[in-house]
Structure 1
Amino acid sequence: MVAVAGRLFADHGYDAVSLRRVAREAKVDPALVHHYFGGKDELFGAAVSLPADPGDLLAGLDPAVPEGRGELVAHAVLALWEGPQQHVLAAFARATIGSASRTRLLRDVVRRRILARIAEGLPCDAAERELRAGLAATQVVGFVLVRYVVRLEPIASLTVREAEAYLAPALERHLTGTLPPVRGLAGAP
């Protein structure tokens, strides 16, 4: 039932999937879905739980060595999205985009568990670390949406190796490259 729900959420988005439809396609009584999941949010949560712990995905990240971090992050992101949980991740992305509460939840998870880890040890102050991690996130989210959710060509058809080769330098630039001077940032005019 959870696998069916994950596929339906991935294919049609959160709003277009009803509990009745999940039950019908899973060939179970709708009461069974309500019994185990109470409601659509609970079923969605079970169907799209994070398929991997961000700490495990970023285990090779050494806070003392900022260089090369873009490559490590690109590799981790692509390994996750190319894996068997791709449909679950796509469902999560689609549903999050359309829901303020899910967007808020995702923002908190990403900020605390992923971006803080990616920015850890960068040789700058906390505000700049947060900015750099946020800029890197724009690259990851954009790339993931274009490649796996929207499936825009030719990005969707790149090999994993090609995708990593394009994504890693952009991440590296945001994480460790020179940022343009912007009014309001430390050290800027």
Structure 2
Amino acid sequence: MPTGDESGGTARRRRRGRRPAGEDTRTALLEAARAEFIAQGYDGATVRVIARRAGVDPAMVNHWFGGKQGLFAASVIQLPITPDEIVRRLLDGPPETVGERMVRNFLAVWDATGGGQFTALVRSVTSMDLAAQALRDIFVQTVFGRVVAAVAPDQHELRATLCASQIIGLGMARYVVRLEPLASADVDTLVRTMAPNLQRYMSGELD
């Protein structure tokens, strides 16, 4: 039977409400970090605030992720769907309509989460090399580079970066800057106005 001191210690430990250092702690940290990075960017988010939001000790960030940078990589540099699935969707149809599929598919993914991890990446890109590298890797190499290689006649690297500039710009204007009326425009309007330019970048004459 516990002594009075032991009972008090147990009660105090329970009142702290800390999660055990298990997989649920890791999940809670990922969810809290994702929300903070989206709202504040890399510089604005702090380990202490993230840990408090997750209900864990800040030391758990180092334990599970090795620090703030590792937590950023694990929580933000992930897409709601895999790059392979994005590429499959973009190539699933005639080459002459790939520009339309680009706009529709990226908006479908982003609109479902209000920008989600993309917003965190963009807000962190000026101060976090990892975020800038992630944007380059995801958009230029992993997605558009592969699509361009499958449908474009020439200048693959240039075409991939041109397409990336348009899609990243669309995401920034719609979810980060919230530039109206683009931010609240319906998908069909954006497809109608942006797809032709993307189609030219993808497979048309660039000279």
Tell me the TM-score normalized by structure 1.
0.83
**In structure 1, how many angstroms separate the alpha carbons of the residues matched to 2:130 and 2:70?**
14
Q: Shift of residue 62 of structure 1?
A: 3.8
Partner residue in 2 for 1:130: 157
Matches within 5 A, 1:7-156: 7-48=35-76, 49-62=78-91, 65-84=94-113, 86-125=115-154, 128-156=155-183
**In structure 2, how many angstroms separate the alpha carbons of the residues matched to 1:104 and 1:18?**
21
- Whether the 8 Å contact between 1:51 and 1:85 is mirrored in structure 2 is no
- Count of matched residue pairs: 178
Q: Which has the higher helix share?
A: 2
**In structure 2, how many angstroms separate the alpha carbons of the residues matched to 1:5 and 1:93?**
15
- Whether the 8 Å contact between 1:63 and 1:122 is mirrored in structure 2 is no
Q: Shift of residue 65 of structure 1?
A: 4.2
- Whether the 8 Å contact between 1:63 and 1:121 is mirrored in structure 2 is no
**In structure 2, how many angstroms separate the alpha carbons of the residues matched to 1:124 and 1:87?**
34
Give the 3 Å change call, closer, same or farther, for CA 62–36 of structure 1 in structure 2: closer
Q: Percent identity?
A: 37
**In structure 2, how many angstroms separate the alpha carbons of the residues matched to 1:79 and 1:135?**
21
**Segment drifting more, 150-159 vs 94-103:** 94-103
Query: Residue type of the partner of 1:166?
Result: T
Give the 3 Å change call, closer, same or farther, for CA 24–123 of structure 1 in structure 2: closer
**In structure 1, how many angstroms separate the alpha carbons of the residues matched to 2:45 and 2:147?**
34
Give the 3 Å change call, closer, same or farther, for CA 85–153 of structure 1 in structure 2: closer
**In structure 2, how many angstroms separate the alpha carbons of the residues matched to 1:164 and 1:132?**
19
Query: Residue type of the partner of 1:12?
Result: Q
SS of 1:60's equivalent in the other structure is helix
| Structure 1: gaps of 5 or more residues | 181-189
Q: Shift of residue 123 of structure 1?
A: 4.8
Query: Residue type of the partner of 1:17?
Result: A
Query: Residue type of the partner of 2:146?
Result: R
How large is the RMSD of aligned CA atoms in angstroms?
Answer: 2.1
Partner residue in 2 for 1:163: 190
Deviating above 6 A after TM superposition, structure 1's stretches of 4 or more consecutive aligned residues are none
| Structure 2: gaps of 5 or more residues | 1-28
**In structure 2, how many angstroms separate the alpha carbons of the residues matched to 1:6 and 1:114?**
23
User: Based on CA coordinates, which of the two structures has the bigger radius of gyration?
Assistant: 2
Tell me the TM-score normalized by structure 2.
0.77
Give the 3 Å change call, closer, same or farther, for CA 162–19 of structure 1 in structure 2: same
Q: Shift of residue 64 of structure 1?
A: 9.2
